[in-house]
Structure 1
Amino acid sequence: MGKAEEFETGHHDRVTVLHTNFNGTRILTASIDHRIKVWQRDPKTGERTLLDTFTAHDADIRDAKFLHPTTGSHIASIGNDLKFHLWTEDVSQAPNTGRRFRRIATIQSTPRIPFVSMDLKTVDNIYTTLALIDRQGLLSIYEPNAPDDFKDWTLIDIFNVCGSTNPPGRGDETSFKVRWDQNPTPLAYINSLSDDRNQLSLVVSVLNEVKIYRSVVSGGDYMSSDGASHRLMFYEAAKIPRHPALVRDVQWAPFSVRGTDRIATACKDGAVRIFELAVSPAPNVPDSTASATTARNTAPQRQQQQQQQSSLTSGLTGRASNTNTNTQAATSSPAPPSTPARAARTGHAFPFVTTIQSTSPLPHAHTDAWSLSFDGQGQVLMSNGSDGVTKLWRKSVLGGQWLVFAGQEVLDAGEETDGDEMDDERDDDE
């Protein structure tokens, strides 16, 4: 097996993010040194040319990624300075001047808790939705005021994913990740179990739990005391069995036309787990209009209850903690760790149910599994961990098991590796 190709990024500290754009022609790296570097890549030769370096945050960068190419040339980033930034490319600026990418939008974490994960989804190549989650599990959903202008964003929903569990304290080790379902059409719509073609779905890792949320049209726009319009509201639709340790990463595979939704998790115990999720008709909901009717009927009640809440939250500019059930909604300011937990965002009557069809555990994938990534077809899964090995997994056509078909160890400069030894390691994993 070949030696890893060395990629000298030139950052002054540890690299925290590596991301490629839609067609692989650009790479960005982000670091603890507060900077983002953007590289132009020749798809034929693989040669990389540094396009620009700029200071993106006043603290460690936690995540950064390119937006969908149909929206233009944009980069989103979050850092430990409690901010989300959106950057746009100014092609009139020369490369490597530090001014090639300029900031056009900022979202501040007003509870003064840093964002730890973000994801964006673009529907019909036009409409973009942003999800942000902080280190205490407060999930915020935004959309731009205009599809073609990302300068101003509206908060459309906000709630804490911890549910009945107390948010973690300052000194606790935490792990929260949020990922959109990137499939262009929801599986429930494909299977004719819902008439909502534009339903949004996301998966969230909540410490050692994984939850799936799906959107519901609320029946009207109104601004509640938590600062959110609640045009859409997200309710828990399924929960994956509790993991034995913190879930480091979670990914939703594209290409759901295979008939199931595929979700993979990377766990602190070193295991990678792959879940196939199916949707089927809900036993007590006769048709897909029931959920919309319920939402329309309860919207006036929610609005009246929210207007009765304390005006204290209005001073927090839309980052108050919000929790809802099917029959009531309550808002309050973000809870400190000692405050009792709020109710979970559960109880909505979807016209379909989401169930786990199969589970494929890979118990010894890494010493501590860190991150995951699917290919564009959702057929190949890449994983890496604290053992310094990147592995590629693929599902066997004959037996249906997920097997390693490539692994690459990250080596120090000048270190030699015996090819037979690496092949033996791969065989043991299989």
Structure 2
Amino acid sequence: MTNAEIINGVEPVKHGFQNFEYAAADIVLAASFNSAGNRAILCSADHKIRVYNIDGNKAWTLADLWRGHDAEVLDVQWIAPTLGQFFATIGGDNKFKLWREETSQLFKSGRRFRCIFSQSPPNHASYVSFGTKTINDDVFLATLTHDGLLSLLEPEDTESLTSWSQKDSIYPFGSHPRGTEARFRLSIQQSEGPSSNALFAGIDPTALSLAVSAMNSIKIYRAIKPTERANYQFYEMHDMHTDTALINEIAWAPGCLRPFDVIAAACDDGTVRIFKVDTPHDSDGSGRALAAKPSQSTGPPKANSVASRNAPSGIGAGLAGMSRTSAPRGGMVNEVKHESKQVAMLEHDDKQPVWKIKWIHDGSALASTGDNGKVHMWRESVGGNYTEFAETGPA
């Protein structure tokens, strides 16, 4: 093997771990694999986006590299492959961007992927989290800003995805002033529809399900159309907590192996907490209990009060703002009782904060990583228990 084939002193392994060619000049902040597992994106603090393909020798090679944002690139997600090669990013420049592959452009030209849609938050607060969902040819986008504004968008043209319209927006935890560190995150359920128990309990089959977190709280929302011609609207269904542990990331388990829902939370105390979310119902769904808390649709605040402008910054301000939830929305739609229970608490040995979690495609296993740089992999066993089956990273 020649020196040219050795990267940072490490020889690439054909069927094992491999260093990526032209690795980022700064810390990698986000990564995403496509559904086929043959493409990957790395986004980093050097403002760059790097796309990699697997070649005929099963090695990862650079497909293209370009400056994607005018600040660090914070998150990236592929959008359904049935629509073409699309992916989305958010950056520290307060931009959400949607990218499409231009097959007429050469690889490594810096023009292989083109930005076809760019948007800044209407409230001038940076994006901190987003999620996409595709059902057949329908695409949905949910965004969450640093001050807690949750928005749902749909494309005006599902083929081009070049223009989007907002369907609803709310503040699940109330509007938080500048300087608040509430750690807002969101995760969209990726299954085609709600879980079977939720359907039996009366949830609309076309409902979109998502979880939103702040501090030590997770709220479950269903986006539902009150009438056939109406836009989707957010309805708060449930609220659960991780006692005092602050939440850094949440992930709704995919797949349809279970009749209920499972949500994982990566926490600041070095744990990953697994929650079971269920909807009690009679066998025919006729005896469902009504317990939903609809939320008031709201746009960004027109002006902050003097109290808001002078509010304390940091975690204390986040805790103080947790009680400022959305006002009740008129009309009740599919009010179905939800129940939750923490069923597992997975611990990292060093007790350092856990920052990222990711489920595999069927929701039977997940990976987590924290401050020590190690990746821990957990699998659900018989009886609903979770055991660690692999670990990789620095010694």
TM class by shorter chain equals: 0.7 to 0.9
Q: Which has the higher contact order (CA 8 A, sep 6+)?
A: 1
Pairing partner for 2:25 from 1, 5, 12: 12
Q: Against the structure 1 CA distance between its residues 332 and 251, is the aligned structure 2 distance closer, same or farther, given a 3 Å change threshold? A: closer
Matches within 5 A, 1:347-386: 348=332, 350-364=334-348, 366-386=351-371
Amino acid at match of 1:376: H
Amino acid at match of 2:133: K
1:217–1:232 Cα contact (<8 Å) kept: yes
Pairing partner for 2:326 from 344, 352, 372: 344
Report the Cα distance in structure 1 between the residues aligned to 2:223 and 2:251, rounded to whole angstroms.
19
Give aligned pairs, total.
361
Shift of 1:25: 0.9
Matches within 5 A, 1:282-361: 333=301, 336=304, 338-339=307-308, 343-344=325-326, 348=332, 350-361=334-345
Shift of 1:209: 1.0
Per-residue Cα deviation, 1:128-147 (whole angstroms, up to 9, x for no partner): 00011111111111100122
Amino acid at match of 1:184: E
Shift of 1:333: 2.2
Amino acid at match of 2:268: K
Shift of 1:263: 0.7
Shift of 1:343: 4.1
Amino acid at match of 1:276: K
Secondary structure of the residue that 2:103 maps to in structure 1? coil
Shift of 1:7: 3.6
Q: Against the structure 1 CA distance between its residues 259 and 345, is the aligned structure 2 distance closer, same or farther, given a 3 Å change threshold? A: farther
Report the Cα distance in structure 2 between the residues aligned to 1:216 and 1:204, rounded to whole angstroms.
16
Q: Counting helix residues as a fraction of each chain, which structure ranks higher?
A: 1
Secondary structure of the residue that 2:279 maps to in structure 1? strand
Aligned residue number for residue 277 of structure 2: 277
Q: Against the structure 1 CA distance between its residues 358 and 195, is the aligned structure 2 distance closer, same or farther, given a 3 Å change threshold? A: closer
Secondary structure of the residue that 1:150 maps to in structure 2? coil
Q: Against the structure 1 CA distance between its residues 195 and 13, is the aligned structure 2 distance closer, same or farther, given a 3 Å change threshold? A: closer
Report the Cα distance in structure 2 between the residues aligned to 1:150 and 1:274, rounded to whole angstroms.
35
Report the Cα distance in structure 1 between the residues aligned to 2:268 and 2:158, rounded to whole angstroms.
39
Shift of 1:357: 4.7
Amino acid at match of 1:202: L
Report the Cα distance in structure 1 between the residues aligned to 2:133 and 2:243, rounded to whole angstroms.
27
Report the Cα distance in structure 2 between the residues aligned to 1:180 and 1:103, rounded to whole angstroms.
24
Report the Cα distance in structure 1 between the residues aligned to 2:155 and 2:31, rounded to whole angstroms.
26
1:61–1:78 Cα contact (<8 Å) kept: yes
1:143–1:153 Cα contact (<8 Å) kept: yes
Report the Cα distance in structure 2 between the residues aligned to 1:65 and 1:349, rounded to whole angstroms.
31
TM-score of the superposition, structure 1-length normalised? 0.76
Matches within 5 A, 1:402-421: 402-410=386-394
Is residue 128 of structure 1 aligned with residue 134 of structure 2? no
Per-residue Cα deviation, 1:327-351 (whole angstroms, up to 9, x for no partner): x766662564843875426574534
Q: Against the structure 1 CA distance between its residues 407 and 19, is the aligned structure 2 distance closer, same or farther, given a 3 Å change threshold? A: same
Secondary structure of the residue that 1:192 maps to in structure 2? helix
Aligned residue number for residue 372 of structure 2: 387
Report the Cα distance in structure 1 between the residues aligned to 2:348 and 2:111, rounded to whole angstroms.
45
Is residue 152 of structure 1 aligned with residue 120 of structure 2? no
Report the Cα distance in structure 1 between the residues aligned to 2:326 and 2:381, rounded to whole angstroms.
38
Amino acid at match of 1:149: S
TM-score of the superposition, structure 2-length normalised? 0.83
Is residue 75 of structure 1 aligned with residue 59 of structure 2? no
Deviates more, 1:134-143 or 1:188-197: 188-197
Unpaired stretches in structure 1, ≥5 consecutive residues:
222-229, 295-323, 412-430
Report the Cα distance in structure 1 between the residues aligned to 2:253 and 2:25, rounded to whole angstroms.
34
Unpaired stretches in structure 2, ≥5 consecutive residues:
1-15, 309-320
Report the Cα distance in structure 1 between the residues aligned to 2:17 and 2:234, rounded to whole angstroms.
42
Per-residue Cα deviation, 1:97-156 (whole angstroms, up to 9, x for no partner): 1011111111111322110111100012x1000011111111111100122221110000
Give me the CA root mean square deviation.
2.9
Q: Against the structure 1 CA distance between its residues 345 and 188, is the aligned structure 2 distance closer, same or farther, given a 3 Å change threshold? A: farther
Matches within 5 A, 1:243-258: 243-258=243-258
Shift of 1:390: 0.7
Report the Cα distance in structure 2 between the residues aligned to 1:146 and 1:279, rounded to whole angstroms.
35
Matches within 5 A, 1:187-202: 187-188=195-196, 191-194=199-202, 196-202=204-210
Per-residue Cα deviation, 1:142-177 (whole angstroms, up to 9, x for no partner): 1001222211100001111213xx61541x433111
Identical-pair percentage: 31
Report the Cα distance in structure 2 between the residues aligned to 1:287 and 1:332, rounded to whole angstroms.
38
2:280–2:337 Cα contact (<8 Å) kept: yes
Report the Cα distance in structure 2 between the residues aligned to 1:139 and 1:28, rounded to whole angstroms.
25
